[in-house]
A and B are shown apart, each in its own frame.
Chain A
Amino acid sequence: MKKNVLFISCEEAQHICDKNQYGEANWIEKLKLNIRLIYCRVTQSYVKQNKKLSKVIKNSEVKCMDNQCKETIRKNFDKALKEHNS
Chain B
Amino acid sequence: MPKHQLNPNKWIDLYSDYLFNYTIARVNDREMAQDLVQDTFLAGLKSMKNFKGDASERTWLISILKRKIIDYYRKINSKKGKAEVKIAYNNDSETEGDWLEERVADPFDKTAEDDLQNAELGNAIYECLSKLPEKQAEVFKMKTIQGIETEVICNELNITASNLWVIIHRARTAMADCLKENWF
List A residues at the B interface (Cβ < 8 Å): 14-15, 18-19, 21-22, 24, 49-50, 52-53, 56-57, 59-66, 69-70, 73-74, 76-77, 80-81, 84
Please encode chain B, from 127 to 168, with 1 for each CB lying within 8 Å of some chain A CB and 0 for all others: 000000000000001011110001000000000000001001
- Indicate if the CB atoms of B125 and A65 lie closer than 8 Å: no
Q: Is B172 an interface residue (CB 8 A)?
A: yes
The number of chain B residues with a CB under 8 A from chain A is 39
Alpha-carbon distance A66/B124, docked complex (angstroms): 20
Contact A65 B38 (CB under 8 A): no
Could you list 28 A-B pairs, sorted by A, with CB under 8 Å? A15-B165, A15-B169, A22-B143, A22-B144, A49-B180, A49-B184, A52-B184, A56-B183, A57-B125, A57-B145, A59-B118, A60-B122, A61-B118, A63-B21, A63-B122, A64-B17, A64-B21, A65-B17, A65-B37, A70-B16, A73-B16, A73-B34, A77-B8, A77-B45, A81-B8, A84-B45, A84-B46, A84-B48
Contact of B21 among A59, A62, A69, A80 (CB under 8 A): A62
